[in-house]
Structure 1
Amino acid sequence: MQPFIYSRTMQVFLLVSLSQALLCTVFFRFLNNYEEEEHDSDDHLLQMIVEGNSKFAYTFFTHLANENPNQNIFCSPISISMLFSMISAGAKGQTQTQILEGLDFNATLNSEKNVRKGYKHLLKMLTQTNSDSVLSIANALFAEKNTMFLKKFLDDLKDYQAEAISTDFQKSEDAKNQINRYVEEKTNGMIKNLLGSVDPQTVAVALNTIYFKGKWKDAFDKRRTHDADFHVDNKTVITVPMMSRQGSYRTAYIREVGCTLVEVPYLGSISAFFIVPDPGRFEDLMRALKNNFISKWIEEMEPMYEGILLSIPKFKMSSAVDLKKELTALGIKRVFSNNADLTGVTGSKELKVSEAVQKAVVSVDESGTEAAAASAGGLTLHGMPPEIKVNRPFVFLIRENRAKVDLFIGKLIKPKN
């Protein structure tokens, strides 16, 4: 059956929703029941996903941070990459190439199929829950019930474990409520009323949610949390609730950049990394992050440094990002324009992405972290001080250590509770 041809006004509405993710233990594991040759192929594809996402993550994050120099930023670049990779399954020609290149997947060496299979392998590596942690990733396509989507596109989305959900966008209020209920359920109630409205001419909403909840491996004692100064800048000092704990942590001081790096692990294979620049060195840190030096720093960290008195503020943070604006600035333009080629979605030449947003939330306290969303210098490994105070603007990330995947990245200028 031939797909229905839509007028230019028919649009794809693209939504990225990163659900609240408590920074806690999450386990990524390799499946042991693959054949040997499949392991080699899967490992290669996984490495391609990890390397591409790492480059994109810090390109996107530093761009966003530079655009908002005095604001808190929190995002999940891997969720953006996964969502737009889903869209690339229905893109053709320059539209597809631009998406893949913009996500830092070499379109010449890595086809859309390889990217899709790489994400399929990554998703299979995730354990869903245990008594200490939860990591839940959900992909969905809310599809206009009267639209004929191509079978290949829907089949390809299965590699992302995406479900197709029939929706009547002509009844825009019902469609909005349907999507908002889905997001609220997938984010354990952390993100409510994500959409304020839905255009009746919407053809589809592509959605990715990430929910992450976990506990610190060594929790902070609430009785030791105390009011302390946080130096927002040279002239602004605020009082924040500061958590403190003495223990053993992996640390490093990056001399050329002038920053301290400390790893605070959760139960399992997930860690939070706090990067605290010396006074006046925040811009040096951001330039180093743009050049993707963080992975090298982490790999070369000291195994453990005992007797560290660590102080970290309790904080909550939320961010909303207009992805259409920010990705266009990074070169992913065609998919949002009237020149978009998304003929792999319905067969129609009249489709484009009309909107793309990301919302993310994070909360850090003594027991762990909750976060949601509905990216050079030499390393000095010795002479760390016995006390590390995270008492000025810093960068933090949440990383799965075995797969070396950065799940969330944030910049905190001014803590809020």
Structure 2
Amino acid sequence: MKAIFPLFFLIAGILANRPYPPNFVNPNSIYNKCDIYESYPQDMNHPNGEGRRMPNQVLVNSNSDFAFKFFRQVSSNGGHRDSSGKKNIVFSPMCISLAFAMLALGARANTLNQILTGLDFKPSEIQEKMIHEGFHDLIYMLTNGGSGLQVEMGNCLFVQNQLHPQEQFLNELRNIYGGDIYLENFKNTAETEQHINNYIERKTHGKISKLVDGVNPVTEILLVSYIYMKAKWKKPFDPKYTEERDFYVDPYTVVKVPMMFQMGMFETGHDDERSCTILKLPYEGHAAAYFILPDKGQLERVASSLSCGALRTWKKILSQSSVNLYLPRCLASGELNLKDIMYTMGVIDVFTDRADLTGITGQPQHRLSGAIHKAMMMIDERGTEASAASSMDLVPMSMPTIVTFDSPFIVMVVDEHTNSILFMAKIINPTEK
């Protein structure tokens, strides 16, 4: 299977200049408390000719904690702009963390403290400088993952052309986060809207052609953060085995979905404490998808229990076994109101007149008017060009376990080299567009 995950994060707020190229250096190893059984050697290809230890350990720990906390929050209240709570949820915790961390470059005082605390960073464990250096290295590692896995991520500021951001902020923005900056006349709404949408369409390889639909002429800055992932299953599904089957959205709703099928050896297990089945599907490269199927009636219980502890447990109980796997083909998308979600997580001042963003322009009277997060996750059969026969495993002569994802489930995409959670989703209805 080939999975494509474009993600777009939109914030209205304040800044300015022209685009700058990114300036990355080679990073070092990352250790994550979500996986206490593995460590990685220091990178010996550093420009200085020797490995060095960077503060990525605490960074990835905090990113993981934030990802699960955000998921629990959005899963409990829906997080959608219509607040229905009954739609698919798709988001990239990495993209959200990256965008707010970049915003922290210009934040001061209580506004800065709220942003960093909201992202699960503790001042006693890591300094702000170390956070930005850690994100710098993490971006490099994720976007230079080698063959089989393509990850592209970045940020762009579209700025009212009458503003004059401070030179220090601009230097940090481009050197740490590789951010692009474009001057705009927001009063010319049609031209600005086209420029933004063209930029995102180009960065997401045509997957999203219209991110914004209307631009507020009083906007001073628009921050767009994106992540694009293209990956192939190590064991692709053969489309000839895909057939229509029932999917039980809830006790009263049944829909027909194209159900993919594959038989073979998979890492799977059952978490008795959390009442769910876990199945791990690796991609080519060093990423994997964890599919979590709650026991009947246990979806919300499982969603509320996700944590680093849960991930550690799953890595212990997963084992290779013979499986007949049924997984729905779907294209899930979601749009979240980040202002409401981050507000409940303690990031408050940045959206109010109390915001202190003096590090951006030297003047404190700036705030974000809103924050919208858009994401899309496509799950299908496509993958390597190997024949169906060569992608089937030789399995033991025993009765295989049947794992059928025919009710709401959770997906988590993890870069296992850095232990970074790239995407999370709660799929309620695979036919939802």
For normalisation by structure 2, the TM-score amounts to 0.82
* CA–CA distance in structure 2, aligned partners of residues 316 and 59 of structure 1: 25
Aligned pairs for 1:227-306 within 5 A:
227-289=244-306, 291-305=307-321
* CA–CA distance in structure 2, aligned partners of residues 299 and 53 of structure 1: 19
Aligned to 2:161: 145
* CA–CA distance in structure 2, aligned partners of residues 285 and 193 of structure 1: 34
Aligned to 2:127: 111
Shift of 1:224: 0.6
Aligned to 1:58: 68
AA aligned to 1:412 is: I
The one of 181, 193, 197 equivalent to 1:180 is: 197
* CA–CA distance in structure 2, aligned partners of residues 155 and 410 of structure 1: 35
* CA–CA distance in structure 2, aligned partners of residues 149 and 366 of structure 1: 47
CA deviations 1:151-174 (Å, max 9, x no partner) are 111111120111222222232222
* CA–CA distance in structure 2, aligned partners of residues 92 and 38 of structure 1: 33
Distance 1:13 1:144, change over 3 A: closer
AA aligned to 1:200 is: P
For normalisation by structure 1, the TM-score amounts to 0.85
AA aligned to 1:414 is: N
CA deviations 1:65-86 (Å, max 9, x no partner) are 1112422100001101100000
AA aligned to 1:137 is: M
Distance 1:131 1:37, change over 3 A: closer
* CA–CA distance in structure 1, aligned partners of residues 105 and 363 of structure 2: 15
Partner secondary structure for residue 202 of structure 1: coil
Shift of 1:13: 6.0
Aligned to 1:39: 52
AA aligned to 1:415 is: P
Aligned to 2:372: 357
* CA–CA distance in structure 2, aligned partners of residues 37 and 101 of structure 1: 33
Partner secondary structure for residue 39 of structure 1: coil
Shift of 1:395: 0.4
* CA–CA distance in structure 2, aligned partners of residues 122 and 85 of structure 1: 13
Aligned to 2:13: 12
Shift of 1:131: 6.1
Aligned length, in residue pairs? 376
Partner secondary structure for residue 91 of structure 1: coil
Partner secondary structure for residue 121 of structure 2: coil
Query: Is 1:398 the counterpart of 2:431 in the alignment?
Result: no
AA aligned to 1:39 is: R
Aligned to 2:114: 98
AA aligned to 1:335 is: V
Aligned pairs for 1:174-213 within 5 A:
174-213=191-230
Distance 1:243 1:13, change over 3 A: farther
Aligned to 1:389: 404
* CA–CA distance in structure 2, aligned partners of residues 330 and 137 of structure 1: 24
Shift of 1:385: 6.3
Aligned-pair identity in percent equals 33
Query: Is 1:343 the counterpart of 2:344 in the alignment?
Result: no
CA deviations 1:151-204 (Å, max 9, x no partner) are 111111120111222222232222221111111100111112211122222222
* CA–CA distance in structure 2, aligned partners of residues 231 and 195 of structure 1: 34
* CA–CA distance in structure 2, aligned partners of residues 48 and 161 of structure 1: 22
Distance 1:38 1:112, change over 3 A: farther
* CA–CA distance in structure 2, aligned partners of residues 349 and 133 of structure 1: 42
Shift of 1:31: 4.1
* CA–CA distance in structure 2, aligned partners of residues 133 and 269 of structure 1: 7
1:128 and 1:136 in contact (8 A); partners too: no
Shift of 1:128: 4.6
* CA–CA distance in structure 1, aligned partners of residues 399 and 226 of structure 2: 39
Kindly report the root-mean-square deviation, in angstroms, between the aligned alpha carbons of the 2 structures. Answer: 2.3
CA deviations 1:364-396 (Å, max 9, x no partner) are 111159xxxxxxxxxxxxx99611111111000
1:252 and 1:384 in contact (8 A); partners too: no
1:13 and 1:355 in contact (8 A); partners too: no
AA aligned to 2:69 is: T
Shift of 1:403: 0.8
Distance 1:87 1:38, change over 3 A: farther
